Structure 1
Amino acid sequence: MAIVIAASTSTATFGGYNIDWDGTSEFRELADQQSESQIALETTAYERSNTSETTAIILAPEEPYTANDSRRVRAFVRSGGTVVIADDFGSEGNALLSAVGADARFNGTQLLDEREYYQAPSLPVATNITDSQYTSDVAQLTLNGATAIDANGSTVLATSSRFGYLDRDGTGGLSPGDELSTYPVVTVESVGDGRVIAVSDPSVFINTMLTQPDNEAFATALLETRQQTLLDYSRAGEQPPLSIILLAVRSSVVVQMGIVGVGIGFVWAYGVFGRFTSRSIWGGLLEIVPEPLRDHFPIWLREITSGDEDTPTELIDEDTLLRSLSQRHPEWDETRLRQVMTDVLSERSRTEDDE
C-alpha cells in the first residue's frame, strides 16, 4: 500500500498529484467533474487538441518552454484555444506570455493589502471583480503571496482593493513611497483567434486555498467555458512514476496494443501450463491438511491428494469419476453421483453434451 501511494503521488508544489496543502490534486479532480480533462506531460498534446473546445491551464512553470514547446502553445492559442497562465515571482510565466504573443506581464513584486486580506496582508483579497464568463458567481478572490499584473492594454477582470500596494523595498509592510491603488490580478486578451488569461497567483488553485472565497467558483468558471481542459504539467516539476505510466498508456495506441498482446500471451500460457501448475501447488498445500478436513474441499481438490498428482483433473473422464465416487459412496444412487460430478465438470471446459 505504501509503495503504491508513493508511486502515485507527488510532493511538487502546484503538482496535480500532490495531495498536500500546496498541491492541486483537488483542482485536478474539479477539472474532471466540470469538463473532459486531460493531463499533459508533453506539449505535443496541444497539437492533438480541438482548439475551439479546449482551455489549457499552466500553473507556475518551473522550467522554460523550449522554442518548439512555445511554438505549439502559440499555435494552439492563435487557432482558437484559450490558455490560462498563472504565475507570480518566477520568470518562466512572463517568457511564455511573450512567446505566445500576449501583452500582459507579471510584475514580480509582492502585492500586499493592509485593509482587505485573509489572515495577513500577504494574503490580500481581490474585491473588484468585472462581470465576465470567466468570473461568473465570483465576488472576490482570496490570494496567497500574489504579485500584480501589468495589463499593458489587456482587459482587467479582477483587481485588489484600493488599499493594495506593491512591496517594492521588501519590508513586508507599508513604506513611504508605496502607492495605494487597485492592482490587476486577472487579465484576458485576444491573441489570434484565441485568448490568453493571466492570473497573478497560482496559489488560487492549490488545495488549501481552493476552498477560500471565491476561488473554487473562479476555477469552475474557467473550466466551464470550454468542453475540454488540458492541464499542462509539462514544466511543473517531477511527476509520480505510476501516473506517468498510466498517462503513457492512455495517450499511446501502440502501448495499449502492446499491453493487450502481453495479456493475451499470459492467458495463452496459463491455458497451456497454468492449470497443471496450480493443481500441483494445491496438492502440496492439501498434503498438510488433516485427512478429516479434506472432505470439506471440492472434489477436484481432493482428487489431487488422493490420486495421481501428475495427472491433471481435466484428463479424468466421466466414467473414471463415476467409478471413483461410487467406490467412496456406495450408498449413493447414480443420479446423486452425477449431480456431485457437476462440481468437477464445472472446473473444466464442458461441451453441450455434458450433464
Structure 2
Amino acid sequence: MPWRTGALVALLCAVLLTGGYAAATSNADFGAYNRGWDGTSDLRQVASDAGATPTVVRDTDEYAGVPANDTVAVVLSPDQPYTDAEQRALRQFVADGGTLVVAGDRDGEANALLAALGARTRLDGRALRDPRHYERGPALPRLTNVTEGPWTTGVETLVFNYGTALAPAGGRVLATSSPDAYLDANTNGTLDASDPVGRHPVVATESVQAGRVVVVADASLFVNAMLERGDNRRFATALFDHHRHALLDYSHTAALPLAVSALYALRDSALGQLAVALAALAVVAAWPYRRRVSDALARSAPTETDTPPRLDAEAIDAYLAREHPDWDAERRARVVQGVITRRRESPRDD
C-alpha cells in the first residue's frame, strides 16, 4: 500500500541520515570532527575566519606540501610517540621557517616532541590551580598576566581547564598565572606545604632555527566550550593571523571519523578512485532499465492474493468442533455451509 511505501522510505531516510552523521562526526577528545564541548571542530572555523586555509593533518608527510614560512601548525595533546621520520618532518618544517604550536596536557608526548624539535621549553606536568582567580572552580584558573605582542593581540585573559604550567628555559613568556596560583603535585585539590605558589608561566615562545615554537600548557584551551571563555578565541585567532595556511595536526591524537578516513583513503588511492568512477558509470548505464528491474522484482514478490490452500468442508467442521465443543453438529454444518457459499460469491476473500 502507498502509506506503507512512504513509511518505509521515511524510515530508510532516517537511518541513512543518522548513519551518515555518525560516520562523519567523532566523539574523541580534541577531535577535529567532534562537535561536542570537548571537540575542536570550531577551531577550523577560527582559522578560516583569521584568513588561513585550514587543513586537517593525519600524516606528518603533509607538512612538506605547504610553504613553511607562511604556515602555522597546531599539535593538540599528542598521546602517541613520534617516529624518527615523523620527528624529522616536523623539525624540517620549523627549520624552514614554520610556526609550530604545541598544546599539551599534564601527560602525553608533548615534551618528547619538544625535545625532538630542539626546543627548550617543557610542560611541568603538575596541575595548575588558583584558589582566588578562577571560573567555576580553582581548576579553571583565569590568567590575566598576558604580555602584549603579535601572538596575544586583543588578549587580556586566558582560561585554563585542568592545565599545567611551563618551564620555559630561556623562551619568551607570553602569559603567567596570578601570584596566588599553585601547582598541585599530588592532585588532591588542596594547597599543601610542598606545592609551589606564585606566578607560573603558561604560554611561551622560542625561536628554533628559522622557525618558531609556541608552547601552551593546556590543550583544552582550544576545545569548543573553552574557546568561549575569557579571550581564548582571540588567542587562537592571533595564532592563525597573518598566515595563509593552518595545519591542524591530529596525526598522533584523536582518530578521524569513519567517513572522513574513507574520504582521505580514497583521495590517496588511484585504484579506489577508479573503482568509484566505474561504479558511478554502472549506475548511469543501468538507470534507463530501472523500471524493468522494478517490474521484475514486483512479479517475483508474493502478493496479497497469494493465499495458502483452502480448507475443505470436513476440515472446517473439525476445526469448529475443536474450537467450539459446545456447538452441535447441526450448528457446525450451518457455519460450514456459510463459509463455502461465501467462497463461491467472493473468490478472493477467505
TM-score interval for Structure 1 and Structure 2 normalised by the shorter chain: 0.7 to 0.9
Structure 2 residue aligned with 1:181, among 194, 198, 218?
Answer: 198
Superposition RMSD in Å: 2.2
TM-score calculated relative to the size of structure 1: 0.74
CA offsets 1:82-120 (integer angstroms, 9 cap, x no match):
100000211300000000110000000001111111110
Contact 1:188 1:195 (8 Å CA) reproduced: yes
Corresponding residue number in structure 1 for 2:121? 104
Structure 2: which 5+ residue stretches go unaligned?
1-16, 300-350
1:218 corresponds to 2:230:
no
Deviation at 1:253, TM superposition (A): 7.8
CA offsets 1:237-292 (integer angstroms, 9 cap, x no match):
32211011223445x3836853674266337x61xx541x12425767999xxxxx
Cα distance in 2, alignment partners of residues 259 and 136 from structure 1: 49
Structure 1: which 5+ residue stretches go unaligned?
288-355
Structure 2 residue aligned with 1:239, among 256, 277, 297?
Answer: 256
Structure 2 residue aligned with 1:17, among 26, 30, 33?
Answer: 33
Q: Percent of aligned pairs with the same residue?
A: 39
Deviation at 1:30, TM superposition (A): 2.2
Corresponding residue number in structure 2 for 1:94? 111
Corresponding residue number in structure 2 for 1:206? 223
* Aligned residue type for 2:153: S
Cα distance in 1, alignment partners of residues 71 and 269 from structure 2: 22
Deviation at 1:33, TM superposition (A): 3.3
CA offsets 1:43-87 (integer angstroms, 9 cap, x no match):
110111210111110000111111111110011001110100000
* Aligned residue type for 1:278: R
Corresponding residue number in structure 2 for 1:280? 292
Corresponding residue number in structure 1 for 2:20? 4
Contact 1:134 1:225 (8 Å CA) reproduced: no
Cα distance in 2, alignment partners of residues 25 and 240 from structure 1: 12
* Aligned residue type for 1:138: V
How many residues are treated as equivalent by the alignment? 282
Equivalent residues in 2 for 1:82-161 (5 A)? 82-161=99-178
Cα distance in 1, alignment partners of residues 272 and 186 from structure 2: 55
CA offsets 1:24-46 (integer angstroms, 9 cap, x no match):
11112322333111111111101
Cα distance in 1, alignment partners of residues 294 and 61 from structure 2: 51
1:49 corresponds to 2:66:
yes
Contact 2:155 2:235 (8 Å CA) reproduced: yes
Cα distance in 1, alignment partners of residues 105 and 98 from structure 2: 23
Corresponding residue number in structure 1 for 2:84? 67
Cα distance in 1, alignment partners of residues 275 and 54 from structure 2: 24
Q: Do the aligned partners of residues 255 and 211 (structure 1) sit closer, same or farther apart at CA in structure 2, a change above 3 Å counting? A: farther
Structure 2 residue aligned with 1:33, among 41, 46, 49?
Answer: 49
CA offsets 1:185-216 (integer angstroms, 9 cap, x no match):
10000001000000000010111111111110
Cα distance in 2, alignment partners of residues 185 and 26 from structure 1: 23
Cα distance in 1, alignment partners of residues 150 and 271 from structure 2: 39
* Aligned residue type for 1:146: G
Contact 1:163 1:181 (8 Å CA) reproduced: yes
Q: Do the aligned partners of residues 132 and 279 (structure 1) sit closer, same or farther apart at CA in structure 2, a change above 3 Å counting? A: same
Contact 1:55 1:229 (8 Å CA) reproduced: yes
Contact 1:106 1:150 (8 Å CA) reproduced: yes
Cα distance in 1, alignment partners of residues 88 and 279 from structure 2: 39
Corresponding residue number in structure 2 for 1:167? 184
Cα distance in 1, alignment partners of residues 99 and 117 from structure 2: 11
Corresponding residue number in structure 1 for 2:97? 80
* Aligned residue type for 1:7: A
Corresponding residue number in structure 1 for 2:207? 190
Cα distance in 2, alignment partners of residues 168 and 285 from structure 1: 71
Cα distance in 2, alignment partners of residues 207 and 91 from structure 1: 21
* Aligned residue type for 1:280: R
Structure 1 residue aligned with 2:278, among 247, 256, 262?
Answer: 262
Cα distance in 1, alignment partners of residues 43 and 247 from structure 2: 12
Instruction: Give the secondary-structure state (helix, strand or coil) at the position aligned to 1:114.
Output: coil
Contact 2:77 2:108 (8 Å CA) reproduced: no
TM-score calculated relative to the size of structure 2: 0.75
Instruction: Give the secondary-structure state (helix, strand or coil) at the position aligned to 2:152.
Output: coil
Cα distance in 2, alignment partners of residues 169 and 19 from structure 1: 33
Q: Do the aligned partners of residues 165 and 66 (structure 1) sit closer, same or farther apart at CA in structure 2, a change above 3 Å counting? A: same
